[in-house]
Structure formats: C-alpha cells, structure tokens
Structure 1
Amino acid sequence: MKKSIPIMNTNLQFFAQDRTNMVSLLDIGLLAGSTTKLAEMGDGYTEITEDWGPSTDSTQYVNMKTASSTVKGYALNMSPEREYLSDDMQEAIDDMFKKFPTGKACETYYYRFYKTDLTAGSGDCIRVPVTVCPSSTGGSGGDTLKSTIQINGNGDVELGTITISSEDGSFSWATK
C-alpha cells in the first residue's frame, strides 16, 4: 500500500519586496561633532547598495574533490550618490566637503532595517560603526548637482531595535 504524501498548497503567492522596504539611516549628529541624530538616507538618493565584501578562506585537502570555505569577516563598503537637496542630510554632506575631515571626525554609525520587521513602530535593526568621507561632487552641465560619499565599515555589526516616534517620526536605537 502506497502512502500519500501531503503536497504543499501551490496556490500560495510570494511577492518580492521593493527597495522601499529597506531603510538606511546615518548618524549625522556624530559627524557634526554633537549628539546622535539619525537621518534617513532616502530622499535625494537614487541608489544605496550595501556591499558586505565577505572575506573567506578556502582550503582543499587531498582527500576532498572540492574546497571548503570559512568566512572570516565582512567589510561593508558603499558609495551612495545624492542629488543636492536642502535638508539636514545635505547640510552634513556639505560640511564634509568644506572641512574634509580625517580620523575620529569621520566616525559615525550606519543603521539598516526592513519595514516588514516592524511591529507598532519598532523592530530589528543593525548598527554598524563606519567612517564617512566626501568622495565626489558636481555633475554635467544642465544636470542636477550631486554629491557622493564613501561609507566603510569600521567594526562589528550589532543587532538592536529601532523605534520610530509616532509623534515626530524620529528614530531611536537600543542594543538588544
């Protein structure tokens, strides 16, 4: 006698999330040398792509047909380009292009969460210590003025909780 095997419901539909589900924040307050001020990297940015640059070691032993790999760490790197807008984020970028900071003056935090992880304005979020520096500014004749910054990981990723204020939409982060 054959056993029947239950088959998963094939009527389920899965939809890919669009880019608006991923929210990137930068602590522009620390870049200004003051207290934490999280600002969303959204308006003005046409692309923000995190490149985590995993560092791996591969070893192939004599009794193996294929190599085995070990992940040693990650090196976050991104170069977001932004159209010139008059807001707090642009003011922080403009300040970098005036002062060309080095050392500790370039250190801050990058945050990222997915809206689908939020429940009642709170949910999982990562925080990464980063260095931020000016990279390029300008554009072609007749084009919109653009500025590009370089963001590089500068320490271990931390998992925490992001909370969005229902009063003013500001962000706060807490370690888990």
Structure 2
Amino acid sequence: MINNLKKITVKIDIILNFFIVIFFSILIFSCVLQVFTRYVLNSAFTWTEELARYSFIWTNLLGAVLCVKKKSHATVTAITDKLSNKKYIKVQFFVQVVILIVSLILFIYGFEVTLKTVSQTSAAMKISMSLINASVPVSSFFMILYTISNILILKEDKVVQ
C-alpha cells in the first residue's frame, strides 16, 4: 500500500511542481510588466498588481503542500534532536496529526468560502474570486493526502524498528 501511495504522490509532485512554475512565472512576468509600464511607459496596467497577488497566493499555497510532503516547514529541533528514535517518531506522529486536523479545517472552510464567492469578481481583472479562494481547499486537499502518506510511513518505520 505504501508503495502505491508513493507512486501516486510522485505523480502529484510533478503536477504540483508544474503549476508552481506556471504561477511563479506569471508572478514574475506580471511584476516585470508592471515595473516596465509604470516607470518606462509612465502608464501602468491596472490588472498586473492583482495578477501578481493572486499568482503569489497560488504559488505559496502549492509550495506549502510540498513542504508538508517533505516535512520541510519551519521547525525548532533543539528538543527533538535529543530524543530517542522511538520518542522522535511519536513526536512526528503527533505533529502530522495536528497538520492533518488543521488541513481538514482549512479544506472545509476554504471550500465553503470558495462556494460563497462564485459570483464575486475581482476589482481589476473581473474574474471570479472563487478561482483565487479555491487555492485554499485545493492546497489543503493535497496537504491531507501527503499528511496521511507521512503518517503511514511513520507507522511503517515504527513497525520496522
């Protein structure tokens, strides 16, 4: 089961990395375009700042998904470095359960907000705000998937030892 889950997460990683690159490229392009039009042409587009902001949101939330998978979010290891391997696994299990709970809450409420903002449009680009707000349930869904994967891997490590 773990091997199948790993194969699935590898494919999801490829897709997530692709979208992170796309959103980050849009972010860079819109910022460069904004600076060029504002300072060189003395007439800035009104939508570039908004596009940059929304691309930034998607980039960060999708990047957070990969941080959850790789367990590379910010941590203070002063205490956990001194724990035995068995206690360390227990702490990591607790951390993963907390991440799972928070991700579930984000998914539920993010989904509700996304549905409520379908008819609301952004100021400059006139796109549905649900496209922006969807970043929360989409990213939290993948965080849930990766956290479950991390928990199963921790359980497997615990059985091996």
TM-score tier, shorter chain, comes to: under 0.3
Higher helix proportion, which one?
2
- Please tell me whether Structure 1 or Structure 2 has the larger radius of gyration of its CA atoms: 1
Higher strand proportion, which one?
1
Greater RCO (Cα-Cα under 8 Å, separation 6 or more): 2
